[in-house]
Structure 1
Amino acid sequence: MESIISSDEAHDIPMPLRKLDLDALPKLVHLCDEGVQTCKTFRVVEVLNVSRCERLKSLMTSSMCFQNLTTLSVSDCDALESLMASAAAAKSLQKLTKLIVRNFKRMTQIIGNNHEAECDVETEQNEIGFSNLQILTLHDLCSLGKFYSGNNIIRLPNLEELIVNKCPEMGTFSHGTVYTPRLYRITIKLKHDWLIDFPKRARNDEVEYQRLLEGDVNRTLKKHWEDHQTAATSSQPNIT
C-alpha cells in the first residue's frame, strides 16, 4: 500500500475517525496520491500518530485538509525531508495544539519552502499561523537546520513551550520574523551534555524581564548555537 487514499477513491468524504495511528507501514509513500487535487478524507481526524514508515516521502500537502487536528506526532520516517510541503500546507492546522517530531535523519525543515505551491495558495500577508499551538517538541533531528526556511512571518500566539532536543544543526527557527507572545519556556539541548532551560515568564527581576523583551526565538537559538559551536571548537585538542 503506497497511499492511504488513491486517486480512484472518493477523497471528498471525511473518514469517520477521530484518531488515526499509522505505524510500521514499510510501503507507505503518501497519505494521498499526488494526483488528488483536494483531499477531505482526514478533516475529522483530531489525533494523528505516524511512526516507522520508512518510505514515506510526503505527509501534508496543500491539497489535504486537517481542519480538526489537535495533536500530531511523527517519528522514525527517515525518507521525510519536511513535515509539510509548503506554507500553504499548514493553513488547515488552525486547531493544532501539540506538535511532536522525533528521530529523523534526513529532515532539514518542518515546513518546506515549496515556492510553486505558495504561489498557488498565497498565505495572508505572507504569514504562517498556528493559532492554537501550545507545545512544540523537536527531538533528535540530526539534519534539521530550521523550522521553516522561507521568509513568511510565523505567528504562534499561544505557544507556551518549545523544546529543541538533540538538533545540532538548528541555528535558527526561521528566516522571517517569529511572534511568540506567550512563550514562557525554551529548552535547548544540542547534545546530551548541553542543556539550557530558559524560563521567559515575566518576573520582578529586571534582568530576566529585559531578556524577555529583547529576545526572540530566532535570536535565542542562534546565540546558543553559536555558543555551543565556540565551546566545541575550544574543547578540541590543539595538535601541533
Structure 2
Amino acid sequence: MCLEQLSFGDLHSSHVTTIFPWSFCQYSREILIDQCKSLLEVFESQWINNIGGGITSTSINEGNGDTHNTSLVIPRPENIYVPQLVNLKKLVIKSCNLLKHVFTFSTLGSLKQLEELMIHTCKAMEVIVKKDNEEQRNVVDFPRLKSLELKNLPNLKGFFLGMNDFKWQLLEKVMIDYCPKMMVFTSGQSTALKLNYMHTSLGKHSLECGLNFHVTRNFHEWSFHNLIEVHMEWKSDVKYVIPSNELLHLKKLVWIKLNDCRNLEEVFEVEEAMEEGLGLELLFREEKEEVIAMKGIDSGLVKSQTVVEIPNLTQVELKDLHNLKYIWKSNHHVRRMLEFPNLTTISIVNCGRLEHVFTSSMVGSLQQLQDLHISDCPNMEVIVRLEGEEFEYDVTVKEIECLKSMRLEKLEALEGFCLGEDNFLLPLLETLEIKECPKITIFSKGQVATPTLNVIDTSFGRCYIREDINHFIKTKLDEVT
C-alpha cells in the first residue's frame, strides 16, 4: 500500500496509540498529525525486528486521571527491519500530549528527502530523536531539511542528546518558541552553513556558532544576548517585551516591530529590581560629569542615575497597540535613563493609551534620529515629556542634529512637541507635517531653530514658514479664532 499523504486529527480514542504500521507510512511524502491525545509514538518502533503478529496490551493515561487498558492487534510480516521513510518530505505533529519523542536514532538514515519538520504543543516531548540502546558515533546527515519548527514544548531538553555530530546542508530556518527546558540543540557538533539566524517568539537572533549553542540557565534567557530583531504580532499574553533584567544584554538589537499585541503595556520594562542583585553597571559619560561638576549638583543624587545604552537599535515600529502606556518608562525612585545613540526611525500608529514618546533626558542621545512619524494616538499629549525637576540640570539647547522628517497626524490631545523651557535646534529638518492636532498651541515654550525648514504641511494645506514654528502655530490659531 502506498499513501503519498497521511493526515490524522482529533483522535481522542484511547485505542489509538500508534498511527500506522510502517508498511503504510514508509512511502508517504507528507504526514500531518493533530490532536491525537492518546498517541504514544508516531511509528511502531516497539515491534521492529519482532517476528510474527501478536497482541500487545498498553495502559494509556489521558492526562485527566483516567487510565484505559487496550489490546491492539496489528498483523505484520514475520521479519520487520528498521523502517525506511525514503519519500517523507514533510512531517507536522501538533497537540499530541503523551508523545515523548518522534524518531529513534535508527530511522534517521532514511530521512534523506525530509524538507520540513514541525512539532507544536506536545507537553511530554523530551527529545525529537531518541537514542537507541546501542550507541553509534556516525555523523547524521539531513541533506534536504530546510525548515525546522519546535513550538510550545515545555519539557523539551534538546533535539538529540547523544554525542553524534549532525550536518544540515540546506537548513535556513529554525524556529524555537517556548521550550523553557532546552539547554542544547545537539550534544555533538551541528554544522548548518546556510543558517544565519534563529527565530523565537521574540524575533530573530544571531547564531555565530550555528546550532552549537549551550545554555547555562535556559533558552529564553540566552536568547536576549543574541537578539537582533524583535517582531511580535497578534500576541495577547504579553505585557512587556524586554524585561528590566535583560536591558544590558541588548548589544545586538537592531530593529523592533510590534503589531496588534492587545495587552502590551510597555516595550522596555524599567523597574527598581533591575539594580537588586543583577550587577547593573553604571555608564556615565564624561561630558555629563563635566556638566554636573560645573553646575555643582549634589553628587549623591547623581550617583543614583544609571544610563543604559541600547547601542545598535535603529528602527522602532509600533502599530495597533491599544493598551501601550510606555515605550521606555523612566524610574524616578532609582534614576534610570535609556539611550539610543543609533536610532534612526520611529513610527507609532494607533496606540490609544500612549501619552508621550520620549522623556526630556533621552533627547540628547537621539543624535541619529532622522524620521519621526506618530499618528492616530488620541491620548498623546506631548512628544517629549518633562521629568521631575529634582533630577534635571539645565541644558541650554537640545539638538536633534539628523532629524529630517517629522509627521504628527490625528493626535487629538497633542498640546505641543515639548511644553518645557528647553530650546530646540533641528538643523536638518526639511519636512514637517502637523495635521488634525486641534489642541496644539505651541511647539515648545523655548526657542525652536529650524534653518532648513521652509514649508509646513498642515490641515489647512502647505504653508510657508516665515519665522519660527512657534510663531507659525500662534498665527494659525489666531486665524482660526
Q: Given that residues 87 and 123 in structure 1 are in contact (C-alpha distance below 8 angstroms), is that contact kept between their aligned partners in structure 2?
A: no
Separation in structure 1 between the aligned mates of residue 375 and residue 256 of structure 2, nearest angstrom: 18
2:352 alignment partner AA:
D
Residues 179-218 of structure 1: pairs in structure 2 closer than 5 A: 179-189=449-459, 195-200=460-465, 212=466, 215-218=467-470
The one-letter code matched in structure 2 to 1:124 is V
Whether 1:76 aligns to 2:350 is yes
Does 2:476 match 1:224? Answer: yes
Q: Is it true that 1:132 corresponds to 2:405 in the alignment?
A: no
Structure scoring higher RCO (CA < 8 A, sep ≥ 6) equals 1
Q: Which residue of 2 aligns with 1:106?
A: 379
Identical-residue share of aligned pairs (%): 24
Could you tell me whether the CA contact under 8 Å between 2:269 and 2:329 is conserved in 1? no
Structure 2 counterparts to residues 1-240 of structure 1, below 5 A: 1-7=238-244, 9-35=245-271, 36=274, 38-40=307-309, 42-61=310-329, 63-84=337-358, 86-116=359-389, 119-122=390-393, 124-125=395-396, 127-189=397-459, 195-200=460-465, 212=466, 215-228=467-480, 230=481
- Counterpart secondary structure, 1:106: coil
Q: Would you say how many aligned residue pairs link Structure 1 and Structure 2? A: 205
Amino acid at match of 2:320: R
2:461 and 2:478 map into 1 onto residues whose CA distance is: 13
Tell me, yes or no, if the aligned pair for 1:3 and 1:31 is still in contact at 8 Å. Answer: yes
Indicate the residue corresponding to 2:26 in structure 1. Answer: none
**Residues 103 and 140, structure 1, Cα contact 8 Å, conserved in 2:** yes
Deviation at 1:43, TM superposition (A): 2.6
Query: Measured at CA, do residues 97 and 176 of structure 1 come closer, stay the same or move farther in structure 2, by a change above 3 Å?
Result: same
Q: Which moved more, 1:94-103 or 1:168-177?
A: 168-177
Supply the distance in 1 between the matched residues of 2:348 and 2:398 (Cα, whole angstroms). Answer: 20
Give yes or no for contact 1:61–1:89 (8 Å, CA) kept in 2.
no
Question: Which runs of structure 1 show a deviation greater than 6 angstroms over 4 or more consecutive aligned residues?
Answer: none
Cα distance in 2 for partners of 1:64, 1:162 equals 26
Runs of 5+ unmatched residues, structure 1 = 190-194, 201-211, 231-240
Q: Which has the higher strand share?
A: 2
Equivalents in 2 of 1:43, 1:26: separation in Å? 28
Alpha-carbon distance, 1:133 to partner: 0.3
Q: Structure 2: 5+ residue runs without aligned partners?
A: 1-237, 275-305, 331-336
Matches of 2:431 and 2:262, distance apart in 1: 33
Per-residue deviation at 1:67? 1.1
Residue 32 (structure 1) shift: 2.0
Rg larger for = 2
Tell me the TM-score normalized by structure 2: 0.41
C-alpha distance in structure 1 between counterparts of 2:250 and 2:394, whole Å: 25
CA contact (8 A) 2:270 2:328 kept: no
2:266, 2:250 → 1: CA distance? 17
* Residue 15 (structure 1) shift: 4.8
Letter in 2 for 1:220: F
Distance (whole Å) between structure 2 residues aligned to residue 2 and residue 123 of structure 1: 35
